Structure 1
Amino acid sequence: SENRFAAIFAASPHPMLITTLEDREIIEANDAFLLLLGITRLQMDTQYGELIRGNELMLQIPEPDEHSTVPEGISREVTFTNHAGDERACILRTVRLDFNGELLLLTMISDLTEHKQYEHELQRLSQLHLVGEVAAGIGHEVRNPMTTVRGFLQLMLMQGKNTLEPAYLQVMIEELDRANQIITEFLSLAKDHMVQLKRENLNDLIRKILPLIEADASVTGKIITTHLTDVESIEMDNKQITQLILNFIRNALEATGENGWIQLKTYMQDGRAVLVIEDNGPGIPADVVEQIWKPFYTTKENGSGLGLAVCFSIANKHGASIDLSTGKEGTAFYVRFRTT
């Protein structure tokens, strides 16, 4: 029976750890547990378990009360950072074992990290879906009277038959145009806003819109560089992908200060065409990173909070994913497109 237990323990896909109850000395850890902590069996054997004992996970393992009658022990949900630098979310379950008169502690772990990620993605998609439903319902109705008002203001400005200063009329027109642009972004989130996919090359699109990007950069005194390597063509709606790139670029231009630069890169990775927009800005604070994809969330004084939400929606419609890395030296967004 001991041999059976040892074989099941070693082969189990669920991370498990056995320690002494009194001083938590490590008796055995299966391969799934080592994988969760980001270490190898060789590292554990050569470093006498110090990599395990030094991990913050060990401090969070609950200990069942000796008088507890609950056969499954006790559970606790915890988060920790493994030796690979990845944050993991888990449920720990611990039970006491009486093994030949020696009290041991068996810890079984359920890794919830992917479940939490899926839950987070579903929440973001649900928010976009809700905004899209609203956009589809009222976006066009709001835009139509605005267009009429703008037309009459433009006519009054051209004819000069008004009691207001022309500058006032111009400001009103500009504000209407700004509101119209926000509605345009709002409508791009609409559920019924269909994409017209056509197989095209990402590099060709970037080269086509590069003069526009460089013009935006030159106005603010920033530098745009590109490093485009051969990538496979992808199914895309070039208008929407253009909007995605411009949204990222304009955010980067606003984020960078003096001597700011933005780099556009493309390359193939794991069968996907990857687009990278990188800048040398101050980075995004940790408490903001989780919020930036939410519609209407913004840290800008005059921002609409729709730019990155639109990017996320466009990527989702193209079956692409967006990741980012950020720090004091800058921020990089990675958009990964399927090529098949």
Structure 2
Amino acid sequence: MREFDSLLDRNMYRVIMAIVIVLMIAGVIIGNEWGIQLLVHSLFVSAVSLLIVLFLRQGTNRIKCALIFTATIYFYVLFFLYPKTASTLVLLTCAPILAILFFHRRMFYTLFSVNALFLAGLFMYLYMKDSNNLHDYLRLDMAGNILNIITIQVIIFFVFYLTSKRIERLSVYYQEIQKAERLRTAGQLAAAVAHEIRNPITVVSGFLQMYQQDQEIPVHVRQNFQLMQGELGMAEHVIQDFLSLAKPRSEQADCIHVQDTLHSVIDLLSSYALMNSVSIVLDAEGDDRIACSAVEFKQVMVNLLKNAIEAIGHDGTIFVSVEQRAGAVGISIQDTGAGMTEEELLQIGTPFYSLKSKGTGLGLMICYNIMEKCGGSLKFASKKREGTMVELTFPVCCNHSA
């Protein structure tokens, strides 16, 4: 029901579905006589109505599938129950639209294919077996009706294709809005409380250092002071991350050489990688330059490469490559680590969400913030037990002449 929750008010949905049920019941009552025809018609109207009510209450995929396929079968039943009514053919040709209404891609392809086969079989049956001429309005212009049905199917598929593409673009757009909102909220929070928290921490840390040098205090107590200093240092580190989020955008970005800067970052992390038996392979040739702060660029790359090393754990490889992309420079970081599920990917960049036991989740938020400030983009792709791919895109430095 998420689609309907966002696009249609529940009360409005109830009203629309009530109208549909009333119209179906009216179709049973008006112009029908008691008999097997009325009984079959009534059973299908009851089944479809019940599924509509269940879908409104629960909205599971099973009920959704049952509703769509039961309604499709109902259309075919109407076609044979009322052979003189030409409008039933319209219901058959438009059956795949039901899947479009529920934004279900797999269900649409399944229903579209099955309905196309059923329609082909139906026309073969009418052409070869309908000796009583019950559907004479179809037999009189068989070729024209087939052509019309094919045209309608093409239009329905085209509508579905455009709708699905628009939904994908909207989904990406909303994700970007959510990320921007998280960055804005974190920045406001940092600007509001970071300095106020840092002041008492500085005072407490100063007194602890003074007491730690007091020889009259027992050694085991002074050891506790050292532990407290370490915890205060960790709190100071988190505050520093918050302040990084609140930094205003630089008026003028540096024009940095990508390959040289990447070499220096990898050299910096080489010892840390060797400790975990991880090798970093760099594929970067040419003379690419991007518009970004050199310090912030290094901060992003160090953060992402450290995450990749820690995701691998032990014995693995990180592949870093640089390539030109339509007016931009792309950097890819691929690791052979544990990977992430779709649910974990959706949480990437959320404040205080981290897959590391001692992580704060602020590091990736800072990366997103830096990429936004320099006009670039940062995207993750990952599968469980198959590793993670990070795609970064930076604007080309306009002051550099090739």
Question: Normalising by structure 1, what TM-score?
Answer: 0.68
Moved more, 236-245 or 60-69: 60-69
Structure 2 unmatched runs, 5+ = 1-66, 76-86, 107-137
**How far does the alpha carbon of each residue in 1:227-258 deviate from its partner, in whole angstroms, 9 at most, with x for none?**
22224211111111111111111211211132
Letter in 2 for 1:147: T
Given the alignment, which residue of 343, 351, 365 partners 1:295? 351
Q: Answer whether contact 1:234 1:337 (CA < 8 A) is retained.
A: yes
Between the aligned partners of 1:197 and 1:168, the Cα distance in structure 2 is: 45
Between the aligned partners of 1:161 and 1:215, the Cα distance in structure 2 is: 41
Between the aligned partners of 2:205 and 2:387, the Cα distance in structure 1 is: 40
Between the aligned partners of 2:187 and 2:277, the Cα distance in structure 1 is: 36
Between the aligned partners of 1:166 and 1:219, the Cα distance in structure 2 is: 32
Q: How does 1:1-340 map to 2 (within 5 A)?
A: 76-80=101-105, 104=149, 105=152, 106-107=155-156, 108-109=159-160, 110=163, 111-112=165-166, 113-163=168-218, 164-190=220-246, 192=248, 194=250, 197-327=253-383, 328-339=385-396, 340=398
Structure 1 unmatched runs, 5+ = 1-58, 82-97
Letter in 1 for 2:388: T
Between the aligned partners of 2:170 and 2:346, the Cα distance in structure 1 is: 17
Compared CA separation, residues 260 and 152, structure 1 to 2 (3 A) = farther
Q: What is the SS of the residue equivalent to 1:78?
A: coil
**How far does the alpha carbon of each residue in 1:256-315 deviate from its partner, in whole angstroms, 9 at most, with x for none?**
132123233222233321222221112111221111122221222221111212211111
Between the aligned partners of 1:176 and 1:307, the Cα distance in structure 2 is: 19
Structure having the higher strand fraction is: 1
Q: What is the SS of the residue equivalent to 1:290?
A: helix
Between the aligned partners of 1:174 and 1:268, the Cα distance in structure 2 is: 44
| Percent identity of equivalent pairs | 27
Structure having the higher helix fraction is: 2
Compared CA separation, residues 264 and 173, structure 1 to 2 (3 A) = farther
Q: Answer whether contact 1:195 1:317 (CA < 8 A) is retained.
A: no
Between the aligned partners of 1:338 and 1:324, the Cα distance in structure 2 is: 19
Hey, which bits of structure 1, 4+ residues long, moved more than 4 A?
59-69, 72-75, 98-103, 193-196
Based on CA coordinates, which of the two structures has the bigger radius of gyration? Answer: 2
Question: Normalising by structure 2, what TM-score?
Answer: 0.58
Letter in 2 for 1:223: S
Compared CA separation, residues 162 and 276, structure 1 to 2 (3 A) = farther
Q: What is the SS of the residue equivalent to 1:304?
A: coil
Between the aligned partners of 1:152 and 1:292, the Cα distance in structure 2 is: 38
